Amino acid sequence: MKKSYNTQFLTGDNSYTDERFQADMRKRGIEIPSDLLYTPQMNEYVAGKMKEENIKGYLQSDSLDNMTGLPYTQERAEEKAEKIYQETIKAISALY
């Protein structure tokens, strides 16, 4: 049996395969290449795609940057998304 690397599997749901994770992410608009299934790199790929979504979300939203009180700039959106990305990768890596 191949080892799944999706977070649900890594936190105890042994029935949640990487193919199912791939299908669920596809519904969210993230297409995971099949060659990344059953590899730790799958999580980096997905987190990177979510980082891109976060940047777009910060720039398109009406929310204000809590550091400046102004709408997000490209630089601040990228900084915030990168911080979340790094924290995500660290948390997921701890599950391996």
Tokens of 92: 């997921």
Average model confidence (pLDDT) across the chain = 94
Alpha-carbon gap, residue 69 to 63, rounded angstroms: 9
CA 58 vs. chain centroid, Å, equals: 15
Q: How confident is the model at residue 34 (pLDDT cuts 50, 70, 90)?
A: very high
Of 8, 11, 72, nearest in space to 19 by CA:
8
- Which pLDDT does position 67 carry in this prediction? 87
Alpha helices in 40-73 (DSSP H): 41-60
pLDDT tens digits, 60-94: 988 889 888 999 999 999 999 999 999 999 999 99
